[in-house]
Amino acid sequence: MHASAADRLLHHYRQHARELPWRSRPGELPTDPYRVWLSEVMLQQTTVAAVAPRYARFLERWPTVEALAAAPEEAVFAEWAGLGYYARARNLHACAREVARLGGFPTTEAELRKLPGVGAYTAAAVAAIAFGADCVAVDTNVERVIARLFALSGKADVPARAAAMLPVGSGGGDFTQALMDLGATICRPKAPDCPSCPLRDGCQAYALGTPEAFPARPIKRQRPHRFGIAWWCRQGDEVRLVRRPARGLLGGMAALPGPEWNEARPAVQPLAAVRHIFTHFSLDLLVVEAAADDGWWQPLDRLDEAGLPTLYRRAVDAALAAERQPRLAA
């Protein structure tokens, strides 16, 4: 089954591969490892639609890994603003500097794992797609395809099952991307298009008639809620901004000044409030008028240059709108 399934999958990929700016066409020589690595970091927990224009901007500004390595860290953070999961920006810059120091990207999965911020998935993806290594990068799409193909409730056996399907000596680039495309376009989390799937005849979940049951979904835990204060200090057409501590959530990003967040709602009269959902908790950020000495004055018409993360950009927009509206009750 494995060989025939792989053949059917690769044939389908050659006919239906998505055209993506960081990807070579099926069967073509691997693309630039810098482009593969950059796209894979950007795509972690972010959609292709959101990444594509930002990827183009990054390449226009820093066309090589050496150019990115030489960039100021603040510039990288600013360019990353809006993509979320901001630790990726710090790791991206640190990795670029290490690759520049080494004189290029390592070519093996094991050596790639030694780079800053490069985990098992990214190492396998770069090794397979950029260097043609015989390995399979397992993302959520690949997990879902393999789990359904073999009716696996859990995910622990997925990497081994995927690796066993890979034709030896063929290189994992096209195979990995074929699985990714299948999961993104056909073997979707909900309403999978099983009639169009090249692996349908050997799929155990399809045979059971319950493809959506695989893999089993984890029990959702209640997300804790926190409160924060952002000081709104405006002087004419400028607003006071600070840079958050290098470590921690939104580390190194520009922000409105304010104390640490906690679980108790502060007794303040907010000018505005925004709610933001992080991975592990939700937050009500209360924007309060106050004086602030730290940081710098940022012109409002050049706010995009500061690289505010989504939370603080929404807070600024809410404060500006609230200045023209009745004040919120505490």
Active site residues: 40
Nearest-angstrom CA–CA distance, 113 and 110:
5
3-class DSSP state for residue 258? coil
Tokens linked to 98: 């290490």
Residues whose CB is less than 8 angstroms from the CB of residue 205 and which lie 6 or more positions away in sequence, other chains included: 147, 148, 149, 151, 211, 213, 214
C-alpha pair distances (Å), 328 with each of 57, 225, 271, 288, 303:
39, 20, 6, 11, 25
Measured CA to CA in angstroms, residue 122 lies from 66, 204, 206 at distances of: 19, 29, 30
Q: Which residues pair with 228 in a beta bridge?
A: 285
Cα 124 from Cα 121, distance rounded (Å): 5
d(CA 248, CA 241): 18
Q: How many helices (H) and strands (E) does the chain have?
A: 13, 7
Q: Which amino acid is at 131?
A: F
User: Which tokens go with 60?
Assistant: 């226009």
Q: What is the DSSP letter of 126?
A: H
- Separation between Cα atoms, residue 116 and residue 37, nearest integer Å: 12
| 320, 258 Cβ separation under 8 angstroms | no
Angle at 244 between CA 243 and CA 250, to 5 degrees: 120
